[in-house]
Chains A and B, each alone.
Chain A
Amino acid sequence: MTSLKPRIHPILRQLLTFVLILVKFLVLVVPVLVFMVWFSYKVDISGLFQGELAPREVANMLLNGDTVSNYDQMDERQVLKLYVQNLSEEQVPETLALGSSRVLQLTKEIVGTDSYYNAGLSGAGVMDIMNAFYLFDQADKLPKNLIIEVDPWIFNGTSADDLNRNADHDLFAEFLKNGLHIDSDYTAPDTTARWKALFDPAYFQGNVKYYLKQKNSNTSTNKDGSEIPFHAVTGDFETLDYAIKRPDGSIYYPVEFRTWSYEQVMAETLVQAGTLSAMHGFDEMDPYWTNLFEQFISYVQSKGIRVVFLLTPYHPFIIKHVYNNPQGFAGFFQVEPWLREYAAQHNIPLYGSYHASRVGVQEWLFFDGIHCKGEALRLIFPGITAALQNEQTAYQIDYYNTYNDKYPNLVSEALVGSTADCLVVDEDWFNQASFATGTGIPYSDQIEIPSAS
């Protein structure tokens, strides 16, 4: 009796068997492996891919449009990194603000667009500013417009190390090499270990435990089980006793700080005038950092991004103090004229001034010696659309109209910046000016203006 089975060559049969085993093995293992990798990637308890848990939580809340509590406990640099990482194409802001904490009061209302993010970082030096930009650049999520709040200290070579101590030096080195094409000590990090973690069952188990723990409790926790102190804030922000970060990246300070009395502000200003961090030894604008700044601006413009400079004012007392004690601050006085010249040469609109008097920002518009209030920014910045057309602020127009004839010398002096005295602006005029400049609500209705006495 002959076999009905078709005859297959032994080698072919072996090959088929091998293929069959391989297929079965793959069917058995691949789904499990894919699940493991996907789960580990999504939960990522060690933050190898999604970033550390707490900053990730903040970034995701901001991206969800939530206002987040406890700003002062945030690792802002990490938050920004993860914010950019998780930013969807639709959420890429048209206008981005860079700078230090001195720009963090610049809200989307002041800028005049919803497609805006304030990427200001407390204590930012030039490295932080460039890094922040590079994060968006690297992720191919560049804005159309860039507001750069330029602090004078970024040109102070003496305190550069101190200023940049919190910055991500590796990222900066990467930007120098890949962005500005300047030699740096950057070497691409070895990501093998990171990727290996995805295939590590022990890492998967850690993620499962963390995930289940999160699911079973109402509070978010860190890897070590400590509670993540950030949560979405709703309702009335006015009475909050902690600082919050709004979805546009700007900061709203706690009620205690916002409602400091004149004496408290002055006391703090006095302290700040005494220390003037990052400004000491500022004998001249450092050629290296100045050059780097220029290269950075050229790089940004080469990407087709329209740049606007914003100089946020110092408290008049600080300026007065620096004028009266100019030793070691020569560089500070060089910055603004140089910036104005540079901006003019490169067709970059520039708004504001370090000299509060030049832009009519009075003492009561300061939180402390170096941070002015949002109302002050509204006075000195006309919104992004107007700024890109190099329009004057409504305040400027009104100011000239009102005072040019009456006090030509004072106006002239103020504009060239040879005095630190604050302009005396009468209250009625100020309200009219602010009405024309801002949202249509006179400032005096929002904030109690201290009496001149």
Chain B
Amino acid sequence: MDFNSLIFLGFFAAVAVLTYCVPKRIKPYFLLAASYLFYLYKPENARLIWVLICATLLSWAGGILLGSSRIHNLWLRRGILLGNILFCGFCLFQYKYYDFFTTLWSDLVKGFGGEFHPKSLNIIAPLGLSYFLFQSMGYLFDVYRHKQKPILNLAYYALFVSFFPCIFTGPIERAHHLVPQFFHPQPFQYQRMSGGAFRMLWGYFKKMVLADGIGAFVGTIYANPEKAAGPYLLAASLLFSYQLYLDFSGCCDIAIGGARILGFELTENFQRPFAACNYGELWRRWHISLSSWFRDYLYIPLGGNRCSVLRNSINTIVTFLVSGLWHGASWGYIIWGTLNGVILVIGKQTHSIRHHLEPRNPLYHSLIVKHTIKRICVYLLFTACIVFFAADLYGGNAFTVYSGLFQGWNLSASQLLQGFADNGLPTAILYVLVIGCTCVELVEWRGPVALWIRRQPAVVRWIIYYLLILAILFFASFGKSAFIYQNY
């Protein structure tokens, strides 16, 4: 069941109404049933439900064992943790990485003159696999490190792993944040409900109007980058960064808004990442739940920044490489992740020099200009890396994109506009996108959208509601595009 389908809206409305009709103690059980129903709706998910069930049962049992006061043996505890991690790793390897690594191995063997013909599995991964496995692994790490008490109630734990607003696309929740809310469900609050509903509407607008509007152009260009002229490749690359943000943050808005209607608060996943003035800050604002997961469970255990410069640099690069791999088993994602790590390392190493030189830059005398330049630089760096991501996503070749960037710049303005129209971005849509994206930035700049809308007079509020609904009705892409991060 996709978030941007009518069936989901119907399902969600029914769950939202019923969740306040059932007694408080029953609510988590009801939501667990709803979550599994949501997951089972698609037959391809139903076939792989055992992965979710096994991951839930094993990590629940593992959590209880790790949290048990009777098990003091460190190696046993490590063994339990490792067993669970191996299971999660096996699932991830089997469904996401097997074909990639066997092909890689085959190429390597061939390179040394050997023969290795692995059988491709070519299987579809269960939807949300990376999310629920990371969520359960995070829980186990926390229990292992005594940061989280084991959850004894299997149903509550199962709900934590499979809570339907965030099972497909996150945010990747932490047990200490979400599970207590199951024990103490919030009573119905009109303001929270209306805020959640607006957040959902806002998310749909970002995803279906803006992200999909941009996506039509980016997808066309990136599918055949060899046929596109430089200006279009540049535009597509620059736009893809923002498309990805709108797509994923829109999805998170729907998830967070939906959960809020049901009476739960989910972790914020984005904080206007493109308002960041340096690359590290961007990553602290982008996909926060995953970034913080890697920080807490990979980067810090590797040594974090409390080690030598070289080791710290390696830790950063490894963390981002793994993050790239998390997104998908392909060289594009690996390069993308690694590049981000390298840029971060360079940024960190050159920070003091840049900081020292800053006062000598005449442009930096104005704070607005300085921040604007920095934001542009951050955006360009992010875009330079995201080309690999986009190329993998749309089946193009990143190196073709880079080499094509410098060709075909002799187009007239009218030819250029016509080219945009021919590639899925007619002028009318371009206006809508420019206005829409500006509104998104302006509104989100003022703080949480749910609070912002509450501050508006009723008439303005209703006008905004109608405008958003009409924008979705007139300009959204229906039934064509899934959320990008749903694939991971």
Where the two chains meet, the residues of A that have a C-beta atom closer than 8 Å to any C-beta of B are 14, 17-18, 20-21, 28-29, 32, 36, 200-202, 204-205, 208
Chain B 435-467 per-residue mask, 1 if CB under 8 angstroms from chain A, else 0:
000000000000000000000000000100110
User: Quick check: A202 and B478 within 8 Å, CB to CB?
Assistant: yes
Provide the residues of chain B in CB contact with A200, threshold 8 Å.
478
Answer yes or no: B469 CB below 8 A from chain A CBs: yes
Report the Cα distance A28→B194, complex, angstroms. Answer: 13
Distance of A28 Cα from B198 Cα, bound (Å): 12
Q: Which residue of B lies closest to A32 (CB)?
A: B469
Question: Is the pair A32, B474 in contact by a Cβ cutoff of 8 Å?
Answer: no
B422 to chain A, nearest CB (A): 14
| Residues from chain B with Cβ under 8 Å of A17 in the complex | 188, 190
Q: Which of A18, A20, A28, A36 contacts B473 (CB 8 A)?
A: A36
B470, closest chain A residue (CB) = A32
* Given known A-B contacts A21-B190, A21-B193, A205 and B474 have beta carbons under 8 A apart: yes
Q: How far is the CA of A43 from the CA of B39 in the complex (A)?
A: 38
For the complex, give the distance between the alpha carbons of A36 and B476 in Å: 14
A-side contacts of B470, CB under 8 Å: 32
Is B23 in the interface zone, CB < 8 Å from A? Answer: no
B479 beta carbon closer than 8 Å to chain A: yes
User: Shortest distance in angstroms between A244's beta carbon and chain B's nearest beta carbon?
Assistant: 38
Asked if B474 and A28 make an inter-chain contact with CB atoms under 8 angstroms apart, the answer reads no
Q: List 27 A-B contacts (CB under 8 A).
A: A14-B20, A14-B188, A17-B188, A17-B190, A18-B17, A20-B190, A21-B190, A21-B193, A28-B465, A28-B466, A28-B469, A29-B469, A32-B469, A32-B470, A32-B473, A36-B473, A200-B478, A201-B473, A201-B476, A201-B478, A202-B479, A204-B473, A205-B473, A205-B474, A205-B475, A205-B478, A208-B474
A204: chain B residues within 8 A (beta carbon): 473
CB distance from B478 to the nearest CB of A (A): 4
Report the bound CA distance from A36 to B469 in whole Å. 12
Once the chains are docked, how many angstroms separate the CA of A310 from the CA of B332?
Answer: 78
Residue with the greatest number of chain B CB neighbours at <10 A, chosen from A20, A28, A29, A36: A28
A16 to B476, CA, bound (A): 34
**What's the least CB distance linking A427 to chain B, in Å?**
68
The CA of A205 and the CA of B462, in the complex, are separated in Å by: 23
The interface centre, meaning the residue of A18, A20, A21 with most chain B CB atoms within 10 A of its CB, is A21
Residue of B nearest to A200 (CB): B478
Q: Of A14, A32, A201, A205, which contacts B466 at CB under 8 A?
A: A32
CB A117 to nearest CB in B, in angstroms, measures 40
Within B7-21, the residues touching A (CB, 8 Å) are 17, 20
Residues on B with beta carbons closer than 8 Å to the beta carbon of A14: 20, 188
| B-side contacts of A202, CB under 8 Å | 478-479
CB distance from B477 to the nearest CB of A (A): 8
Residues of B within 8 A of A208 (CB): 474
- B431 to A: closest C-beta gap in Å: 14
The complex places the Cα of A201 from the Cα of B9 at a distance, in Å, of: 14
What residue in chain B is nearest A39 (Cβ atoms)? B473
How far, in whole Å, are A14 and B21 apart by their CA atoms in the complex?
Answer: 10
Residues of chain B within 8 A of A36, CB atoms compared: 473
Q: How far is the CA of A29 from the CA of B475 in the complex (A)?
A: 17
8 additional A-B residue pairs with CB within 8 Å, beyond A14-B20, A28-B462: A14-B188, A17-B188, A28-B466, A32-B466, A36-B473, A201-B478, A205-B473, A208-B474
> Binary interface profile of B, 281-325, with partner A (CB < 8 Å = 1, else 0)?
000000000000000000000000000000000000000000000
- In the assembly, what is the distance between CA of A208 and CA of B476, in Å? 13
CA distance A208 to B478 in the complex (A): 14
**Which residues of chain B have C-beta atoms less than 8 A from A201's C-beta?**
472-473, 476, 478
Residues of the A chain whose Cβ atoms lie less than 8 Å from the Cβ of B478: 200-202, 205
In the complex, A240→B472 CA distance in Å? 49
**In the bound complex, CA of A29 to CA of B474 (Å):** 14
Determine the chain A residues whose CB is within 8 A of the CB of B469 once the complex forms: 28-29, 32
CA distance A28 to B458 in the complex (A): 13
Q: How far is the CB of B476 from chain A (nearest CB, A)?
A: 7
Q: Mark B10-51, 1 if CB is under 8 A from A, else 0.
A: 000000010010000000000000000000000000000000
Closest beta carbon of chain B to A10's beta carbon, Å: 10
Most A CB contacts (10 A, CB to CB) among B193, B465, B473 go to B473
* Alpha-carbon gap, A253 to B365, bound state (A): 83
Q: Which of chain B's residues have a CB closer than 8 A to the CB of A32?
A: 466, 469-470, 473
Q: Bound state CA distance, A246 and B319, in angstroms?
A: 78
Cα-based distance from A21 to B190 in the complex (angstroms) = 9
